[in-house]
Structures are given as C-alpha cells and as structure tokens.
Amino acid sequence: MAHLIAPSLLSADFARLHEAVELVEASPAPWLHLDVMDGVFVPNISFGFPVIKAIRPLSKKVFDVHLMIAAPDPYITAFRDAGADRLTVHYEACPHLHRTVQAIKEAGMKAGVAINPHTPVHLLADILGDLDQVILMSVNPGFGGQRFIPGTIRKLNMLRELREVHGSQLMIEVDGGVSAQNVKELVDHGADALVAGNSIFNAPDPAAAIRALAVVD
C-alpha cells in the first residue's frame, strides 16, 4: 500500500498553531501527529489535552497521538475525549502493556506501541496481534530536529518480517529524522507511515515539503 505522511505539530510555531493545522488540513497528509511529553519519561514537555481539544474542530484529519509519558493508563479516555483517533504508548512506559492496549481499544481508538531506538523489535512478538500500529523511534524521543539513527533500517526489516510471520495487518510508522533524503529508503524497507516535523515546518514551503514526502519515485 502507499505510504502516508503524518506532519508532527511539535515542530510547528506554537504561536501560530491555527495556521499549522490549516496547512496540514489543506495538504495530502491524512494524519496529524501529536507528541505529548511529560518531562518525566522524556526530558521535555510539549502539550496535552487542552491543545488537542482546541485544535480538534479545525481538522478532519486523523489525530495520531503519541504519548511519551511515564504513566499513560489514567489518561486514555481523556485523550479520546480530546479528539485522539489513534493512541500510541511506549513499550518502555507500560509494565502491563496488554492491559493498556486493550483499554485504548475499549475506548474506541486504534492502539499503537512505540519502541525507543535501544529496544529490540522481538519484544513486541507477544502483543503484535493486538496492535493497529507500531512506531519505530528513529531518534531518541523528547526533541525534534535530531539526526536519523541508521540502525532503524535493520529494525524496520525485522518488524516487517515479524508482521508477516504473525499475519498482522498493523501499520509500521517511523518517527524521527524523516526527510526527503531518506523517505524512499524507509518506504522501500516497509514503512507505511512517516512522521515528519522539522523537514516540513522548517522548510521554505511547508506545503510543498509535505507533497514531496508523499511521493516516492
């Protein structure tokens, strides 16, 4: 299937979020990626329910919410109520991952799990059949603008093979350091969705950047 682009609002100008959301709304990107950080699981704080709820009426795009927080379970329904369509938690933050994934699904959202660069793909084997997506972090989570970690390609191949073995239909999403220079390689190795922040919102023409990332020759 064709890959999709999920522009990350973390890299937008927070003083002009309205314009950033409108830009994505008018683009071919079907998802808007929202990184929620708590300053505990990752060394940074971003935004939470009020921002997501405020921008939800501005967009018909799928809200792809990525929780980089230490204890996501108590907030699952709150993110649903704020407007999340897809909710991803971190493997490293969830001691009872299966229960967390089921709670996300019971709340009516698609469920995803993200793994940090140091976390092996095979640890997802027992939960794979319950997931709608896996996010491979291709940078260390917490900040935008980092360099892509090359080892992600190997993990991408491994996850694609694991998906085939389990007969899963989950989507493989890559988050971090995505640019026009590596988008083709990522798609060729199995990425279904690509999160892009700086390469879009710091580009001279963000709308053109989205269109360029959406097309692989």
Candidates 35, 38, 132, 192; catalytic one: 35
Q: CA-CA distances (angstroms) from residue 54 to 59, 72, 108?
A: 10, 21, 20
Candidates 64, 132, 175, 192; catalytic one: 175
Active site residue 35: yes
Active site residue 13: no
Q: Catalytic amino acids? A: 35, 175
